[in-house]
Amino acid sequence: MVGYNLRPRQRNGLVSKQEDPPALESNNTPAKPSKESKPTMGELNRKVQTIIAKSSWWDRYGVDWCIILLSVCALLPIAVLLLRSDDWGPFLIGLALLGLIHSMFKTKISHLAAHGALCKSKGWNTIWQYLFIEFFGSFSAVSSMDIHLKVHHPYTNIVGLGDSAIWRVPFLPCFTYMFVAPLLLPPLTPVVAMGNLIVDKKFVAAVKCLIVVTCGLVANVWFIMWAGAMTCTKAIICILVYRAPMEIPYIHVNIFQHIGLPMYSRENHPPRLQLMCNGALNLTRAPIINWFFGHSLVDCHVEHHLFPTLSDNMCAKVKPVVKEYILGHGLPYQEEEYWDRLKLFVKKYKELMVNAPPITEFIGIQ
C-alpha cells in the first residue's frame, strides 16, 4: 500500500492556496490491498504482455485502422455533397463533418503515430508521424516528440516537467479559456510549431516542418475549393471554421486528465506504477470524443500512460486486467465523467488553472 502526505509545501517561493487536490467523484475507490504481494510495474507488465502475445494483428492495429477508414469513407462523401448546398443548414453540417474528420487525423491518428502504435514498422510509423502531425495537423513532429514523448510521459505530474503547465494561461478568465480561446488554435498551431523549433535552434527541422505544413495547408485549401466550388478566400475561412470547434474538447481532455491530481517534485515521487495511478485519469461517457480522439486519450488514459505504445483498441482490451490489478492492490484507479470534470473545472477554475499546484509528499510504499 502506498502512503502519502497531501500537505502542500512551498514551490519556488510560492505557496499554493490549495490544501488538497480536488476530490474525484468516482466510484472506483481503492479496494482492500492484496496481502499476497506488493504492486509492481513488472508484475502488471507481465500480465499485459501475455494479453499482447495472444492478440492478433487485427486486435493490435486492424481495429483502429478500420475505425479510421470507416469514419473517413462514411463522412467525407456526405461532407463534400453538403458543401455544395446553397442552404446554410446543410452547408454547416458539411463543415461539421469535415471538422470531425480533421480532428481524428490531428488528434487520434497523430497521437498513435507519435507513439508508434499504428503499425509494427518504425519506418511506416515515421511516415505516419509526418503525414498526420505535420501535413494534416499543421504542427511539428519533432516538437511533438520532444514535448509529449520525452517530457510528458516520463515525467507525468512532476512539477516543472510533465505537470501540464503548458496548458495553463492564468491571465485568461474561466469562460474565455474554456470555451473561446481554443477556437483560435487552428491559426496559432503552425506559428507555435515554428516558434518552438526556432527557440530550440532546430533550424533544419523548422525548414522541413514549414515545407510539409505549407504543402498540407495548400492541399487542404485546394480540396475545399474543389469540394465546395468556392474561392480561395472562402476556402481558407471554411478551414478555420471547421477546425475550431473540436479544439474545445481537445483542450478539455488535456487538462482534465492530469491537472487537479497529485503533483510531485522531481526529487520525491513514487515509482512509475503508483505515479501513473495517482497522476492520470480516464474520462467516461463521452462517446463522440472517444471515437474521434481515441481510447488512449479519453477512457483508457491510465492504461495509455502505463503502456504508451499500445494502440487504442489494445488499451481497451487490457483495461479490465489493469483496472483489476490496480484496485486489487489498494491503488487508486481514477475515472470520472467528462461533464463532471467540466463542472469541476468551471467551478474551481482559479484553484486549478491559476494558482500554483500543491506538491504531494511521497512517503513510501508500505
What's the pLDDT score for residue 363? 61
Q: What is the largest CA-CA distance in the chain?
A: 69
Q: Which residue has the higher pLDDT, 136 or 13?
A: 136
What's the pLDDT score for residue 6? 40
pTM (2 decimals)?
0.87
- Return the DSSP state at 36: S
Residue 330: closest CA among 280, 283, 273, 287: 273
Quickly state the pLDDT bin for 358 (edges 50, 70, 90). Answer: confident
282-284/335-337 β-pairing: parallel
Compute the distance between CA of residue 210 and CA of residue 232 in angstroms, rounded to an integer. 20
What's the pLDDT score for residue 357? 80
Give the containing element (helix H, strand E) for 66: helix 63-83
Compute the distance between CA of residue 344 and CA of residue 25 in angstroms, rounded to an integer. 10
Task: Output the average pLDDT for the chain.
Answer: 89
- Angle (nearest 5°) at CA 160 between 154 and 162: 30
Quickly state the pLDDT bin for 42 (edges 50, 70, 90). Answer: very high
Please, are residues 256 and 281 in contact by the beta-carbon 8 Å criterion?
Answer: yes
Residue-wise pLDDT for 271-330, tens only, equals 999 999 999 999 998 999 999 999 999 999 999 999 999 999 999 999 999 999 999 999
Residue-wise pLDDT for 149-191, tens only, equals 999 999 999 988 888 888 999 999 999 999 999 999 999 999 9
pLDDT surpasses 60 at 22: no
Please, are residues 239 and 223 in contact by the beta-carbon 8 Å criterion?
Answer: no
Query: Quick one: cell of 242?
Result: 471547421
Residue-wise pLDDT for 105-160, tens only, equals 999 999 999 999 999 999 999 999 999 999 999 999 999 999 999 999 999 999 88
Query: Quick one: cell of 97?
Result: 463533418
Please, are residues 278 and 261 in contact by the beta-carbon 8 Å criterion?
Answer: yes
Compute the distance between CA of residue 221 and CA of residue 141 in angstroms, rounded to an integer. 21
pLDDT surpasses 90 at 14: no
Query: Quick one: cell of 110?
Result: 497523430
